[in-house]
Structure 1
Amino acid sequence: MATFEFYIYSNTVLGYNSGTNAFDFDIDYVHWEDRFRVVVNDDDSAFDSTGDGNQTAVVYDMDGNVVQSGLLTTPFYGELDDGSGGVIYLDRIEVNGVHVGYMSDMTLTPGTSYPYLGGATWTGAYSYYEENSVPCFAPETPIATSRGHVPVADLRAGDLVLTRDNGFQPVLWAGRWRVPPRVLADDPRHWPVVIDRALPGAGCPTGALRLSAQHQVLLRDPWFELTTGSTEVLTLAGALGRAVAPAPGQEVIWHHLLFARHEIIQAAGLWVESLFSGGSLFADLPPILRLRAQAALGVDGCHQQTARPCLKRWEAEVFLRLRASAPQPDAARVA
């Protein structure tokens, strides 16, 4: 039996207001009192929204007292307006048919009423609850658009973003999620990678560029043609920059952009990838976010191939060592 653990808001401080069609979050919410810790035991890593018999949980209050135990289900998720054009995803958590609370993909603000936009049900993976994480951009990352350089956190569906291959293309879907401090403390894979210097084949960023380790950056060099047939390739940011540990108690917010095809877009002066719907990264999206992205792409909209060949990490490291020992003219900024 595998064990999973996450925290939820108590339904005593967060609830639906039918009069206003909104979820109200109590202004008197207290972080160390009004949450529950949910410990799940299951024989697989898939979360069935209606329960699969082996999917059980024990719910504890913040003092360690058992509140409820039994079959775990989440019969409903809702989409809430965050007040700035974004969407908050809220899951209703039930144990033995008793509603105990809600799981939110964002930190809610006490005293705020969040308009309800709609909802559905889903079946997904526990990784959504434990990590709520997928690789992409830090919020402040400047993206080249038809309006100039705009922080990725301010981009919405329909905004025109500059692509390397197809000019300005509309964003189909813009997503975001938060990695909680508990996960960051246990798993360095979720730490931001900072690129703040010139890189062979990529150029020099206009400022410190923060990406997740699995986000891919464009490199250009004749050396790649020998193995890939292309002078341009994509490689993991984790092979190019340095990982930075967040401060204790700090969360990390990531954003990602989806287009009709896998694109190469410009972030802080470097060319990097957009979200690719055909790979494992897309499969690792929190289930609710993945449903939204798939709806934006349409039934037959799954990306069939990446915009460029992708290097393995060791190949990127070999290339960097070679160019460090014998710098080439093409190590200048990629035009």
Structure 2
Amino acid sequence: MVRGQELVYNTNATAMQMANEIFGDGVTVVSATYTGDSRSSAIYSRGDNLSPDATPSDTGVILSTGLAADFTNRTGNANQNAGTSTNTSGPNNDPNFNALAGTSTFDASFLTVNFIPQGDTLTMQFVFASEEYPEFVNSVFQDVVGVWVNGQPVQLSVGDGTVDPSSINTTNNQNLFVDNTGSNFNTEMDGFTVTLTLKAQVIPGQVNTIKIGIADVSDSNFDSSLLIAGGSMQTAFIASDDSVTLAPGASKTIDVLGNDTAANPATLTITHINGQAVGAGSTVTLSTGQQITLNADGTFTILGDADTETVSFTYTAVANGISDTAFVTINQVPCFVRGTRIETPGGEVAVEALAVGDLVNTLDDGPRPVRWVGRRRVAAEGRFAPVRIREGALGVRRDLWVSPQQVDYFHLLFDNHQVIRAEGLETESFLPGPQIQSMFEAEVLEELVALFPELDPATGQGYGAASRPTLRGFEAGVLSARLS
């Protein structure tokens, strides 16, 4: 439990002063207006010294649904109140925020800025913090961050696209969330995100408009804050998102800097992984279990855990003194271990005995021929021990081992995505997706493209749709909560 220390707040900052604080290289601010309670906005400073984990930068702008200065306390514990609330004079039922939230909104606080960018992509870095955590994560009280560029909403590139307590918490996008109910960090807010990023397409050389802010949803209680990093809204250096697909327990080295772009030639250096400062050789273990190691050449080696899941984390890089943040998404896909029996017209057959052309029973289309069998071997130790679904559980007729390590595992591919049966349990065939290029070696990709000429290994497009609706992380969380 840490003690409260007040950030330095300039609540008298004008709209132009706030705009010039958050806009950086490659952008010229033309004009700015602020809408909201005068106490709900401020330029903050000394973030690196007083609240380095909860602020995205040393200085920046804070917009709040309550009082901006309530983000930190002057004395006592850092987090003293589970429900800090101020009903401000900020506008209620702003049309943009209502449309974003799908219901009534209150106490809005936002900046509207006209600017001229040099590049065609505008990036920004920010932290969302809220007193709605953890009590109202699954409720209608979803205080929300809103960003519109030239009238169009800008979405987060992970999760369901929104920035609110339901999309980033201990269940959904948990690597991006920090729990502060134990007052371990210097902020009054009960929870906050790691430094996140939004990217928006803009028109270079012309006046563009951005509206950015925050609003209470469904009522005026329990305040939330948006902290925008100073100088982070820029077009000079853009870190782009990456993704990688792994078998559970496998490892992969990826070059996340390869698609990052700088307006001027520069050496790109990674400084943070998921908000933690790193150097060459540093390893960060995500809350979901994956280990991320920064190599000397700027690549990441990602070691998966034993779960089948899709998770994301962030990295921050610097070029010419300009920083930006991007997301990396890890897809850990299921597969079958040697000995798993697959249902065929002639009875159950061990997966390793199946060959291209063999018929397998599918739930929707009856017997269908196998078009491709993928096989790999990974290590099986400690927390990467085999995953067992015991006999009788979920209808399995004998123990089913799924995605274990240090054994052979197999992918089965058909003309279409299929539901098949393994040890009597309904499961799925392999579904090529947008990450196959990072999942397989070049010769395997060539084989797949030869079998499916319309398949684009860079995007995963061209194979066909999933046989069933694919739930996003937040949807799976809601379904799991309802079933439990």
TM-score, normalised on structure 2? 0.28
